[in-house]
């Protein structure tokens, strides 16, 4: 075997010409570490960002819920005030007032709309702002409603006072009217009584008719008719005009003499009694003058012996009476 000796400081030619190789593992490891750190940094940043977003959303939700609760409370307070006003004015019966009726309807509609907005689970800020604006408007409506109610209550109070005053005046007028009527009735009664006529100077004669000639007689069997005459005295209160009087003849038996075919009938006295009259006499009276009235009374049967009482009635009062006796006839009567 042959050996060659080389100087220690010299290397082979191949070794001098080939450049030395770099170690890339360090670079790769560093790059991986940097990438890992960047990844973790990103994860941490993203997590923090997500947490912030979540907290922000939670704050928004919490704030929205708080606003909704506050608005709900304001709505309930407004509703309570409105109900109290309605309760206090329930006795007013203002259902016929068109303004109050319209305000009731508008307030109830606005309350329903506000409650609809607040009942939304995911109400937006715009909707809450709308609810806030409507609550403010509702409070204004309720205040206006209150003012209107108070105005109506004041007007009702004034009307009640005026009604009481008018009622008092009416009652006073009625009392005065009734009092005046009592005075008038009293005066009319006085005038009525005072204007009642009076009869006097009675003349009751039995008349016999023979050969067409009349002759006075007191013999009952010869009397064909009774001729009754009397005076109506002057009266300053009785008005001139048609008058009527009732003549009542009572026979010897105590029974009234009447004949419906001759005009007999009944009338009412001032005592409220029904009385039979024999003859009704109608005449025209002249105020303040004396007048003489006369009429004849005849009957189908003969006149009986005895007393005949003649009573005259006017205005329900007996105004005079007279008596005539018819005797039994003899040989020379």
Q: Most confidently modeled of 71-80, 138-147, 164-173?
A: 164-173
Rg from Cα positions in the chain:
66
Q: Which of 166, 194, 222 is the last residue of a domain?
A: 194
Which domain, by its residues, includes 103? 29-194
Reported as a single tens digit per residue, the pLDDT across 271-304 is 999 999 999 999 999 998 999 999 899 888 889 9
- 15 falls in which pLDDT band (50, 70, 90)? very low
User: Is residue 72 included in any domain, yes or no?
Assistant: yes
Question: Which residue bears the tokens 């049967």?
Answer: 301
Same domain, 176 and 205: no
Same domain, 57 and 176: yes
Residues forming a β-bridge with 227? 205, 296
Q: What are phi and psi of 296, to 5 degrees?
A: -110, 145
Q: Residue 77: how many CB atoms within 10 A of its CB? A: 12
Same domain, 184 and 224: no
The answer, yes or no, to whether residue 131 has pLDDT greater than 50, is yes
Q: Which of 194, 212, 239 is the last residue of a domain?
A: 194
- Percent of the chain beyond pLDDT 90? 32
Same domain, 167 and 47: yes
Give how many domains the chain has, as a whole number: 2
Same domain, 244 and 124: no
Same domain, 130 and 112: yes
Same domain, 243 and 177: no
Q: pTM value?
A: 0.50
Same domain, 54 and 156: yes
User: Is residue 163 included in any domain, yes or no?
Assistant: yes
Same domain, 317 and 248: yes
User: Is residue 5 included in any domain, yes or no?
Assistant: no
Beta strands of 233-316 (E only): which ranges?
241-250, 265-268, 274-277, 279-285, 291-298, 306-314
User: Is residue 15 included in any domain, yes or no?
Assistant: no
User: Is residue 189 included in any domain, yes or no?
Assistant: yes
Q: How far apart are CA 59 and CA 70, in angstroms?
A: 16
User: Is residue 12 included in any domain, yes or no?
Assistant: no
User: Is residue 60 included in any domain, yes or no?
Assistant: yes
Reported as a single tens digit per residue, the pLDDT across 158-214 is 878 888 888 888 888 888 888 888 888 888 778 878 889 999 999 999 999 988 899
Residues in the chain: 333
Same domain, 270 and 173: no
Same domain, 142 and 238: no
Question: Which residue bears the tokens 């007191």?
Answer: 218
User: Is residue 4 included in any domain, yes or no?
Assistant: no
Same domain, 94 and 151: yes
| 167-190 burial code (b ≥16 CB/10 A, e <16) | eeeeeeeeeeeeeeeeeeeeeeee
């Amino acid at each position: 075997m042959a050996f060659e000796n080389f100087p220690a400081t010299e290397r082979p030619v191949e070794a001098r010409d080939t450049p030395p190789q770099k170690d890339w593992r360090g670079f790769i490891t560093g790059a991986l570490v940097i990438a890992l750190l960047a990844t973790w940094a990103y994860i941490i940043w993203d997590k923090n960002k997500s947490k912030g977003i979540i907290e922000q959303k939670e704050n928004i939700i919490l704030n929205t819920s708080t606003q909704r609760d506050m608005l709900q409370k304001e709505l309930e307070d407004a509703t309570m005030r409105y109900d109290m006003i309605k309760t206090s004015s329930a006795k007013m019966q203002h259902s016929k007032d068109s303004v109050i009726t319209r305000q009731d309807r508008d307030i109830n509609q606005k309350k329903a709309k506000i409650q609809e907005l607040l009942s939304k689970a995911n109400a937006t800020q715009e909707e809450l702002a709308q609810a806030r604006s409507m609550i403010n408007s509702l409070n204004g409506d309720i205040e206006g409603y209150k003012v209107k109610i108070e105005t109506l209550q004041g007007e009702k109070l004034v009307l009640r006072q005026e009604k009481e005053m008018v009622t008092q005046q009416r009652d006073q007028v009625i009392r005065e009217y009734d009092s005046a009527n009592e005075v008038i009735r009293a005066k009319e009664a006085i005038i009525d009584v005072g204007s009642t006529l009076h009869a006097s100077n009675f003349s009751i004669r039995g008349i016999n008719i023979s050969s067409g000639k009349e002759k006075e007689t007191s013999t009952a069997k010869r009397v064909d008719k009774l001729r009754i005459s009397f005076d109506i005295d002057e009266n300053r209160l009785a008005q001139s005009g048609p008058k009527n009087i009732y003549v009542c003849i009572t026979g010897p038996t105590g029974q009234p003499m009447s004949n419906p075919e001759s005009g007999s009938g009944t009338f009412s006295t001032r005592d409220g009694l029904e009385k039979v009259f024999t003859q009704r006499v109608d005449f025209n009276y002249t105020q303040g003058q004396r007048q003489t009235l006369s009429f004849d009374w005849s009957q189908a049967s003969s006149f009986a012996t005895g007393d005949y009482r003649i009573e005259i009635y006017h205005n329900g009062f007996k105004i005079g009476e007279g008596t005539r006796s018819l005797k039994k006839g003899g040989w020379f009567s």
